[in-house]
Amino acid sequence: MKRTDDYLTRRDRLAPLADSELHERFWRLAEQIVAPLLDLARTHTTPSLERSVLLRMGLDSLEARALVEETMRQGLLGHGAGNLLLRVSARHGLELRAAARELVAGRHWEGARQLVEQAGPLPALTEKEPAGQAPSAPAASLSPLAPDGKLDVAAILDGLERYRPRRRGWTWRKSPGKPLKMGFFEYRQVSAPLTRSLPLPAARYFGGVDPQPETVITAEIASGRFEDDLRRMRMAAWHGADHIMVIRTAGQSHIDGLLEGTPEGVGGVPITRKQLRASRKALDFIEDEVGRPINLHSYVSGVAGPEIAVLFAEEGVNGAHQDPQYNILYRNVNMVRSFIDAAEAKTLMAWAGMVQIDGAHNANATAIQAWKVMPELLVQHAINCILSLKTGMPREAICLSTVPPTAAPAPAVALDLPYAVALRQIFAGFGLRAQMNTRYIESDEREATVTHVLNLLITRLTGAHIQSTITPDEGRNVPWHHNTIAAVDTAKQALVGMDGLDELVALKLDGELGRRVREIKERAVLFLEEVLSTGGYFASVESGFFVDSGLYPERAGDGIVRKLAEGVGAGTVTPRKPGYAAPVCAHFGQNHEEADCRMFGGCTLCRPDRIVYLDELDDTDNVRVRRAATEERRRADLIRPEVQWSGDGVVSVTMTLAEPERRAKYAAIKIGERMGLKDVEVIHRGVLHPSEGTVIMIKGRFDADIRGDELVIPEEREALPDEALRAAVAERPMRVVAGTLGEDEHSVGMREILDIKHGGLEKYGIESHYLGTSVPVSKLIDAAIELDADAILASTIITHAEVHRKNLCRLVELCREKGVRKRFILVGGGTQISNELARECGLDAGFGRGARGRDVASFLVKRRAELAHED
């Protein structure tokens, strides 16, 4: 709806302001909005906040929950559950956990009320070593990971009660500080290379280099079973990810407390102490293997934020999402409680050195016309940034989760680039996490990749500290697995491919781009003014200001509306009483002046030996039961495909059918069933023409095992050292004739096998005669006879009507007809050629994708020696 107020007049007042003045006004307004929210956080408490205090005092999550519930029933939460526990413990000479059990059992409450209401000096306890706690161990006694060996999940799970993370805090990639020479090239926007990694496929053409961008790269991982995710973390790290973001199970935002054990998740993994310890322990070994620190990340959001923050600080989690606005707008958590809990959670995150990522980007994924919410996004970012700064987080650790608002076929760059520039100008000094927009991803991998690359162009043009990745799996309900790795490779490939772009391209800020940037910032300033004039943040949410798809100041009337007295956790906020105390580290707000964890010997942040480790609480839904169900298959060396869980049997199959879309869909399901797949469903449909054809991807379950001991695996060819090859050829010279057969015009692959420039046969002294492309079979043989060659190398790519096979077989037949088969070593090559296919045709060997000149030279030298021995 159009506004009839004085928007244009108000915007005219901003026109004379320089950018620096506009930015200063933006931040001053944001601070005014946040100030009353901080006051609420300083002067109030919540059940989750108090449970987080008790956790730091050495109670387990079950004991903390029970004691806070009883404290609330007694009407004493405003005095502080930790305050009450400390005083009762000192009065009765009880260890803290023993005192908690007494209180939960209903004892000592009359005296407890008097103790906290008097609000005298806090007592100091002489605490003995906590009973029943296993001594902590900074590292596990496991052998380093072997690149050719699997991750031992059982060993990771063993001894978790003694495991302690060896470091805390976020680690950024280290830049060499100057251009880095790798192989043939010099890179400018890279970090130190990995000790072990898997380069991009094209790296074999460039000396096997694997440059790592300077930007941290995220892999988002979650299968529902954390034990399977540990292996995927290792895969992602080898491809260059150093930010492992574990997606939280659906619904955990609304669980008012910590989960324990390792239940199976839906849409993600339940975040629990055991799951975090196993993940961090596995990553300790993985980062040693790849030679780079790896950051573990999850979510400090939801109604149990302060407790999650304690858990993360204790267990060495390095980064997390935390933004009270996400709770309010997308999870309907009570507004007041969200901000009070957020202040405590952010204080804990600051103590632990964690990086924080906010949740403003969710407006892009929610608004009906997301490209119109850009001014609002700046406002949401600012509110969270100010709140985070005021709770002690350093500026560089506060990362904006920025997502380009659009995707092609919209004019994406023209819309997204001004927003990206405005964001970076006004939020200078803060961290930036760039993520592709999942709003527009459906089921097409190609479309998702193009969107990803366009988003990465924005990153290269404007900068980012963390580059998140995402996959099309969300849209087609296939759990993340290999596509996670593909997304990491896409980010690495695009960023490295655009290395040095800032030295070649400059943004035209004095033209249309600058005008659009300024307009977005002015609209955001006026948005902040209206929030204040409406009565502040809570009133603006009640009025539906946020995630409204009208371009401010227009309103579409489709914004998210929340009420101050409603939402999850409503009615649980309690004012802090005089003398309120929380005797722990990393606490926000009013507190007893003497409150200090030294009063009882140190909280869990200072003394990790106080942390209580709870193992599996559910006898049926836990990692032990799940692994026991697959133990026989693992021991018997049975192989089965997987997508979501280890050996789940799920496969995907792509096919093209000359049928209209709906007919093709149901035909593909029948085809999958005929193939023996169960639970077949279509996960992607691409129309090639409304009537001529459809490409279909199905998934289904393959319920059969392949025995490992039944596999027939050909012996892998071992390439000879360069020195040995040169010596063999020098002692007995070798000559080869080569060409591309038939009507095939491909030449690049053959040239790489032959030319010295590419490490081909010439490098070893082998004399090569290349006849070119489209060479008749007879011509190739005649040339070999005329030149007295030792070998014939025949290349073929074309596969239609089995031309590649027919031409190779014809080569052998004609050699026999001419009586020269035993005279030449015959070698076939090409992308469709395998050694087995070539041998079936009668050749000596075949070389397919990835073959190098060294491989072919080694075979020729070895085969010639074999033939000489046979003679």
d(CA 789, CA 792): 7
Provide CB contacts within 8 A for 751, sequence distance 6+.
758, 760, 770
Q: Cα(658)–Cα(120) distance, rounded to whole angstroms?
A: 84
Q: How far is CA 374 from CA 13, 329, 377, 438, 549, in A?
A: 21, 17, 5, 17, 10
Low-confidence ranges of the chain (pLDDT < 50): 131-132, 138-140
Say how far apart CA 650 and CA 641 lie, in whole Å: 6
718 exposure class (CB count in 10 Å sphere: 0-12, 13-18, 19+): exposed
> CB of 355 within 8 A of CB of 399?
yes
For residues 555 and 550, give the distance between their C-alpha atoms in angstroms, rounded to a whole number.
5
Residue with tokens 């009320």: 113
Q: Is the preceding omega at residue 553 within 30 degrees of 0, hence cis? A: yes
Check if the beta carbon of residue 397 is closer than 8 Å to that of residue 347.
no
DSSP assigned state of 3: -
CA 786/CA 235 separation, integer angstroms: 52
Closest CA to 248 of 392, 102, 359: 359
What stretches of 44-80 show up as alpha helix (H) in DSSP? 47-56, 61-73
Q: Is 541 exposed, middle or buried (0-12, 13-18, 19+ CB in 10 A)?
A: buried
Asked if residues 386 and 403 have their Cβ atoms less than 8 Å apart, the reply is: no
Q: Other CB atoms closer than 10 Å to residue 265's CB: what's the count? A: 23
The pLDDT assigned to 431 comes to: 97
Task: Check if the beta carbon of residue 780 is closer than 8 Å to that of residue 811.
Answer: yes
Is residue 360 within 8 A of residue 382, CB to CB? The reply is: no
pLDDT score at 74? 96
Nearest by Cα to 607 from 618, 598, 616:
598
Q: H or E element: which one contains 229? A: helix 226-238
Cis, peptide link before residue 213, omega less than 30° from 0: no
Residue 212, number of CB atoms within 10 A of its CB: 22
The pTM of the full predicted model, rounded to 2 decimals, is: 0.90
- CA pair distance 19, 376, nearest whole angstrom: 19
**R_g (Cα) of the chain, nearest Å:** 33
**What are the residues whose beta carbons fall under 8 Å from the beta carbon of 763, sequence distance 6 or more?**
722, 756, 853, 854, 857
> How far is residue 735's CA from residue 685's CA, in Å, rounded to a whole number?
52
CA–CA dist 272, 764 (Å, integer): 58
| Beta carbons of 796 and 789 less than 8 angstroms apart | no
Give the list of residues 6+ apart from residue 784 with CB closer than 8 angstroms, or none: 737, 791, 792, 820, 824
How far is Cα 363 from Cα 524, in angstroms, rounded to an integer?
A: 15
Looking at residue 428, the DSSP 8-state letter turns out to be: T
**Distance (Å, whole) CA 537 – CA 545:** 9
CA distance 326 to 842: 66
**What is the rounded CA–CA span in Å between residue 52 and residue 305?**
9
Separation between Cα atoms, residue 406 and residue 354, nearest integer Å: 30
Quote the CA–CA distance of 63 and 392 in Å, as a whole number. 29
What confidence score (pLDDT) does residue 525 get? 97
Would you say 86 and 581 are in contact if contact means Cβ atoms under 8 Å apart? yes
CA distances from 466 to 205, 218, 253, 399, 438 (A): 29, 7, 24, 9, 17
How far apart are alpha carbons 26 and 529 in whole angstroms?
9
**793 contact partners, CB below 8 Å, separation of at least 6:** 736, 737, 738, 739, 750, 753, 754, 827, 829, 856
Distance separating alpha carbons of residues 774 and 745, to the nearest angstrom: 6
**CA 616 – CA 16 distance, rounded (Å):** 64
Residue with tokens 């492992």: 244
Which DSSP state fits 502?
Answer: G
State the pairing for strand pair 190-191/212-213: antiparallel
The residue to which tokens 């005279």 are assigned: 823
Quickly count: other Cβ atoms within 10 Å of residue 587's Cβ: 25
Measured distance CA(419)–CA(427) in Å, rounded: 12
Q: Are 358 and 399 in contact (CB under 8 A)?
A: yes
- Give the integer Cα–Cα distance in Å for 849 and 831: 5
pLDDT at residue 590, as a whole number: 96
Record the tokens describing residue 468, joined without a space.
């998140």
Bridge partner residues of 625 (DSSP) = none
Collapsed DSSP state (helix, strand, coil) of residue 592: coil
Query: How many other CB atoms are found less than 10 A from the CB of residue 714?
Result: 9
Q: Taking Cα atoms as reference points, which of 486, 72, 411, 428 lies closest to residue 241?
A: 486
What tokens appear for 132 in the block? 């029943």
